[in-house]
């Protein structure tokens, strides 16, 4: 997990840091979570995880994680985000359509800007 810091202002004005937990490499689209996603997200919240970044490692996986973010956005607002890209292990699947497909997926409000793997 990665720690990100928020700034809190007190009176008199002074700033103090406290950590925000963000899980940055979640494979929530894996079949083992298929029927348990809400439970997994509730447990993450209970453990103090405020943001979760789902990892897209291929065109289809990128589309799947954005769809998951979209599906659970109302139940878990501002918690789920996604990356869109191709992992080096999936590079052999790159074709002429891959770039445009990833570009289309990356224009959603739930997709974080990333450096492409390929």
Q: Closest Cα to residue 37, out of 3, 83, 78, 68?
A: 68
The domain in which residue 88 lies consists of 21-106
The answer to the question of residue 117 being in a domain is no
The answer to the question of residue 38 being in a domain is yes
**Phi and psi at residue 112, in whole multiples of 5°?**
-85, 145
The answer to the question of residue 14 being in a domain is no
Which residues lie closer than 8 Å to 46 by C-beta, 6 or more apart? Answer: none
Question: What's the domain count of the chain?
Answer: 1
Q: What is the pLDDT of residues 11-23, one digit of tens each?
A: 444 555 667 899 9
Dist. CA 117–CA 57, nearest whole Å:
9
The answer to the question of residue 115 being in a domain is no
Dist. CA 24–CA 13, nearest whole Å:
32
Q: What is the pLDDT of residues 44-79, one digit of tens each?
A: 999 999 999 999 999 999 999 999 999 999 999 999
The answer to the question of residue 69 being in a domain is yes
Q: What is the predicted pLDDT for the residue at 79?
A: 94
The answer to the question of residue 112 being in a domain is no
């Amino acid at each position: 997990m990665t720690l990100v810091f928020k700034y809190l202002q007190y009176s008199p004005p002074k700033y103090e840091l406290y950590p925000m937990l963000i899980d940055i490499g979640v494979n929530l689209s894996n079949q083992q979570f298929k029927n348990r996603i809400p439970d997994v997200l509730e447990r993450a919240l209970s453990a103090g995880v405020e943001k979760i970044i789902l990892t897209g490692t291929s065109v289809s996986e990128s589309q799947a994680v954005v769809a998951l973010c979209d599906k659970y956005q109302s139940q878990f607002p501002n918690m789920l985000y996604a990356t869109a890209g191709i992992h080096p292990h999936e590079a052999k699947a790159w074709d002429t359509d891959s770039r445009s497909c990833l570009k289309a997926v990356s224009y959603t409000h739930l997709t974080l800007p990333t450096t492409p793997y390929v």
